[in-house]
Amino acid sequence: MDVKRLILGVSGLVLLFGFLLLGLTPGGVFNKIVPSEYMGPYSSIIKYYPERAHIDLAQPGPTIGLILIGAGAVGLIYVYASKSREGIR
């Protein structure tokens, strides 16, 4: 079994899973937190502020996604840096 191919495959899957977590979980890139304000007890109006939408890194999904992206990138860099060159083992 080729260890470099195994590391490359696992790193690719970790990167993919990290991007999915960062993008699709609540507070992520495609599911941003939109601030809202309740107008009072006698009103059923809620005012939303979409211009202040943000990625919420306090949520566990985006935070774990960023960690997995970093771990996958380290694995890919390791595989790229450990390529055997001509005449060098």
What pLDDT does 78 receive?
92
74 in a domain, yes or no?
yes
Q: How many CA atoms lie within 13 A of 28 on its CB side?
A: 18
17 in a domain, yes or no?
yes
44 in a domain, yes or no?
yes
56 in a domain, yes or no?
yes
24 in a domain, yes or no?
yes
Q: 31 with 55: CB under 8 angstroms? A: no
pTM: 0.75
pLDDT along the chain (89 residues), means of 10: 89 96 90 77 77 82 94 94 71
What pLDDT does 88 receive?
61
Tally the domains of the chain: 1
23 in a domain, yes or no?
yes
89 in a domain, yes or no?
no
86 in a domain, yes or no?
no
Q: Which amino acid is at 82?
A: S
The DSSP symbol for 45 reads -
Tracing tokens 């191919």 back to the chain, one arrives at 5
Closest C-alpha to 66, from 81, 74, 52, 5: 74
* Domain span at 56: 3-81
